[in-house]
Chains A and B, each alone.
Chain A
Amino acid sequence: MGIRATAVVCLALVAPALIVTGCASAEDTSVAGTAERFLSAAGEGRGGEACLLLAPRAARSLDDCEKQIVSAGLRAGAVRGVDVWGDEARVRVDGDTLFLHRFPDGWRVRAAGCESRPDQSHTGQPYECEVET
């Protein structure tokens, strides 16, 4: 195999990995950005803005979204980890965990103020959340 052929094969093998990695990190940034904007808005009393970033069903689950979301005790914090799998994501920040879903117009928060249950060990015990769908 010549050098050119080898280069083509290498590129064919590496390019998809680069694309996937690139897409994954761009996605992570987008998810983390939504989570941070949501927590900042909720923590700083901008209920209307926070409610716009909630998934529709999560917003409907609150009787008065704009008031309740600011009194839920949510605070912005440093992002500690982002996991994106398909159209679902989990963002861990200091003192909070959020779950997001990708809608046609972007990521929206479907659950916030989440804490893992003490006995959770991948055995079907979901997080307990202050706000959820």
Chain B
Amino acid sequence: MKRLVRENALALCFLLLFLVTLAGQSVAGAAAFNEEQVAEGGSPVTWAHYVTSSSFAVDVAENWQSEYLQFFLYILITAWLIQRGSPESKKRGEEGLESDAEQKVGPHAGPGSPAWAAAPGWRRTVFSHSLGIVMGLLFLLSWLAQSVAGLAAYNNEQLAQLEDPVDWVGYVTSPDFWNRTLQNWQSEFLAVASMVLLAIFLRERGSPQSKKVGDPHSETASTG
């Protein structure tokens, strides 16, 4: 058990942080929601009512979609574009999908390689892009969830303000939907660009996301 925890500590740590912060968001969100309800002449709702509401769902989904988009694009783009000096980047000349030998697929697969890495045809193709595919799907599903929950939350607000509700097409072309979407995207892209650039010149001793402390600034694709 102790060994299992230690060997999966990174994932467990972030899953725990996720649950704690999601719980925190639900408590703070319910308080903010109730302040608004009372101000509009409505009645406060319970925590259970709030966490099953479209208001909570859209706030969660809009952040999820942007995180999955960030990782989806990062996974895809770092295969093709490099950044000199960044530990997040491949070296110059390595751009692209690389050879089968470098990727250990097909006849180059080793005894420990996953079965689909050695398999011919579509299975190898799918497995070769499985991380990007799943991240991309999670992004699309989260974005769809944002649009559906956002529509419900938006129409709830519209009716509270004595205005007409809109349909799904009306919502996904509305300023509210794109404001929620783009405010999350811009922050993700800024964070990635900051990481790529700052990691050229700054170090975090012991972190695989950083170069070794003594590595030259110009060294690309090294981790500490």
Contacts and interface: CB of A to CB of B under 8 A. Distances in A.
A125 B156 contact: no
A83 B165 contact: yes
A122 B160 contact: no
Given A55-B41, A103-B43, A122-B170, A85 B163 contact: no
A111 B41 CA distance: 11
B54 interface: yes
Given A116-B164, A122-B166, A58 B45 contact: no
Contacts of B200: none
Nearest to A110: B41
B41 A58 contact: yes
Contacts of A96: none
Given A90-B159, A101-B160, A85 B165 contact: yes
Contact of A125 (B37, B53, B163, B165): B163
B161 interface: yes
Interface residues of B, number: 23
Interface in A94-133: 99, 101, 103-104, 110-111, 114, 116, 120, 122, 124-127, 129, 132-133
Contacts of A120: 163-164
Contacts of B43: 101, 103-104
A80 interface: no
Contact of B152 (A56, A57, A86, A129): A86
A114 B162 CA distance: 9
B161 A126 contact: yes
Interface residues of A, number: 28
A31 to B, nearest CB: 11
Nearest to A57: B41
A62 to B, nearest CB: 14
Given A83-B155, A86-B152, A99-B159, A122 B41 contact: no
Contacts of B66: none
B55 interface: yes
Nearest to A111: B162
B161 A85 contact: no
Interface string B108-123: 0000000000000000
A101 B161 CA distance: 11
Identify the 6 closest CB pairs spanning chains A and B, nearest first: A88-B159, A57-B41, A86-B156, A85-B155, A126-B162, A133-B41
Interface of B: 37, 40-43, 45, 53-55, 152-153, 155-156, 158-166, 170
